[in-house]
């Protein structure tokens, strides 16, 4: 394989670091790619450019979680801010307020907290294809 093609393949690969089911970790986690927790973690997670996966049987208790995306199959006890999305799958248990751009909650999820949606797209969007004064003028003229 030519070097350029090999580099393209490496760039598109997602690296996932996994904390095994026998791992118990306390402290502050910072990462930029993807972290999968299969064991127990307590502390703070600050990964505003990273994705967090909480696997089935895992427990994450945190003062705060800041990530790009969060996927939960296990248990999370923390307030979460995800700039992109949060996915809660069947069997997940979440205790804490959620702030995200997108939120999906499957059937069979236990969720206790408040949800807030964020919109980082600050661009104004025109909801009408024509300007409002033009539409009003047409309605007034009866055409």
| Half-sphere exposure of residue 47: CA atoms within 13 angstroms, side-chain side | 21
Mean pLDDT of the chain: 85
124 burial level (CB within 10 Å; 0-12, 13-18, 19+): exposed
Please report which confidence band the pLDDT of residue 18 belongs to, taking 50, 70 and 90 as the band edges: confident
Q: What is the pTM of this model?
A: 0.74
Per-residue pLDDT tens digits for 86-131: 999 999 999 999 999 999 999 999 999 999 998 765 555 555 566 6
Please report which confidence band the pLDDT of residue 58 belongs to, taking 50, 70 and 90 as the band edges: very high
**Does residue 8 surpass a pLDDT of 60?**
no
Please report which confidence band the pLDDT of residue 17 belongs to, taking 50, 70 and 90 as the band edges: confident
Q: What is the pLDDT of residue 26?
A: 94
Q: What is the pLDDT of residue 48?
A: 86
More confident residue, 141 or 54: 54
* Residue 114 CB contacts under 8 Å (≥ 6 apart), including other chains: 97, 98
């Amino acid at each position: 394989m030519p070097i350029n093609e090999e580099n393209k393949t490496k760039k598109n690969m997602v690296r996932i670091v996994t904390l095994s089911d026998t791992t118990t970790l306390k402290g502050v986690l910072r990462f930029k790619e993807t972290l999968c927790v299969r064991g127990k973690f307590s502390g703070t997670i600050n990964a505003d450019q990273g994705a967090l996966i909480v696997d089935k049987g895992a427990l994450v208790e945190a003062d705060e979680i800041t990530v790009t995306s969060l996927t939960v199959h296990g248990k999370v006890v923390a307030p979460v801010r995800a700039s992109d999305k949060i996915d809660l799958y069947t069997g997940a248990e979440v205790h804490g307020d959620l702030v995200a751009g997108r939120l999906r909650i499957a059937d069979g999820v236990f969720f206790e907290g408040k949800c807030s949606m964020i919109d980082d797209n600050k661009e104004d969007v025109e909801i009408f294809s024509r300007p409002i004064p033009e539409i009003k003028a047409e309605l007034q003229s009866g055409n």
